[in-house]
């Protein structure tokens, strides 16, 4: 497995892409209210990314028709923006990537639409916290199995499940690079991280079963039991003694 180590030049471009992604997500959180369509959110993101002299990483990627992914409730990831109107009580997952001078950063958030149930609030909270639990142990020589185990243990201790079929990924001059970055694992197993590696860590967790399926649009992935799902992601750089989160 070849995993690229980024130069300071490459890292700087990814920082710029990461800042764009961070700001797009903040903008979308402001606009994601009852009554707006996911297609409108997609247009807002597209316009902002282009104004920053970047391009949406997802638009046209493998034929994907949107600039962002918008997934609601039981939809886990890869939801296609459409005329669907957001309604009070929904949990919206927004995934954004930006390509700045041929380098990518990628992040996702779970956004409450109006007032949501306590169970959905807890799901989204644990999903976000599991990311930071995992990141807290990262530094050179830590194994990916340690990261995955830390996320999985935290999520399952709170009564939720970790999706197995979907994982994080390396990122840089390509949106998806090696290695795969699972949100589950065995301590002491897997690739050792090195300074200069950049990875997208993205816990995806469910209220019910961890099993998922893909809808007929060949993109949208949903929970098998139609229970609600949450998603939280950032692009992370491995440093001398820890990490730098490029999308915060």
Q: What is the pLDDT of residue 244?
A: 98
1 — pLDDT class (breaks 50, 70, 90): confident
CB distance 91 to 116 below 8 Å? yes
Is 97 exposed, middle or buried, given 0-12, 13-18 or 19+ CB atoms closer than 10 A? Answer: buried
Range of the domain at 72: 8-245
21 vs 41: CA distance, rounded Å = 14
Q: Is residue 1 part of a domain?
A: no
Q: Note whether residue 152 is domain-resident.
A: yes
Q: Is the residue at 3 inside a domain?
A: no
Query: Rounded to an integer, what distance in angstroms lies between the CA atom of residue 201 and that of residue 181?
Result: 7
pLDDT digits (tens, 9 = 90+) for 173-205: 999 999 999 999 999 999 999 999 999 999 999
Tens-digit pLDDT profile for residues 21-54:
999 999 999 999 999 999 999 999 999 999 999 9
**Residue 24 to residue 28: CA distance in whole angstroms:** 6
Q: How far apart are CA 195 and CA 80, in angstroms?
A: 35
In order of 4, 122, 185, 199, 239, the CA distances from 236 in angstroms are: 14, 24, 19, 5, 9
Q: For residue 17, what is the domain's CATH number?
A: 3.90.230.10
pLDDT at 128: 98
Query: Would you say residue 223 lies in a domain?
Result: yes
What is the distance between the alpha carbons of residues 181 and 222, in angstroms, rounded to a whole number? Answer: 20
Q: Tell me how far apart the alpha carbons of residues 38 and 71 are, in angstroms, rounded to a whole number.
A: 9
Confidence of residue 2 (pLDDT cuts 50, 70, 90): confident
Is 54 among the domain residues? yes
Number of domains the chain contains: 1
In a domain, 53, yes or no: yes
| β-strand pairing of 221-223 with 243-245 | unpaired
């Amino acid at each position: 497995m070849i995993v690229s180590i980024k130069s300071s030049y490459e890292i700087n471009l990814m920082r710029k892409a990461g800042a764009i992604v961070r700001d797009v997500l903040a903008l979308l959180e402001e606009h994601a209210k009852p009554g707006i369509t996911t297609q409108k959110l997609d247009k807002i993101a597209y316009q902002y990314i282009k104004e920053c002299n970047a391009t949406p990483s997802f638009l046209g990627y493998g034929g994907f028709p949107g600039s962002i992914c918008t997934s609601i409730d039981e939809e886990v990831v890869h939801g296609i923006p459409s005329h669907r109107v957001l309604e009070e009580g929904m949990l919206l997952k927004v995934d954004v990537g930006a390509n700045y001078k041929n380098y990518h950063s990628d992040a996702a958030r779970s956004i409450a639409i109006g007032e949501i149930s306590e169970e959905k609030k807890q799901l989204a909270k644990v999903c976000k916290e599991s990311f930071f639990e995992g990141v807290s142990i990262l530094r050179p020589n830590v194994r990916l199995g340690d990261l995955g185990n830390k996320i999985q243990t935290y999520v399952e201790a709170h009564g939720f499940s970790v999706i197995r079929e979907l994982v994080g990924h390396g990122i840089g001059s390509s949106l998806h690079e090696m290695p795969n970055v699972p949100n589950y694992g065995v301590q002491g197993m897997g690739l050792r991280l090195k300074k200069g590696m950049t990875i997208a860590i993205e816990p995806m967790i469910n209220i019910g079963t961890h099993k998922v399926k893909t809808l007929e649009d060949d993109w949208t992935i949903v929970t098998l039991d139609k229970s609600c799902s949450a998603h939280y992601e950032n692009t992370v750089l491995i440093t001398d003694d820890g990490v730098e989160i490029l999308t915060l």
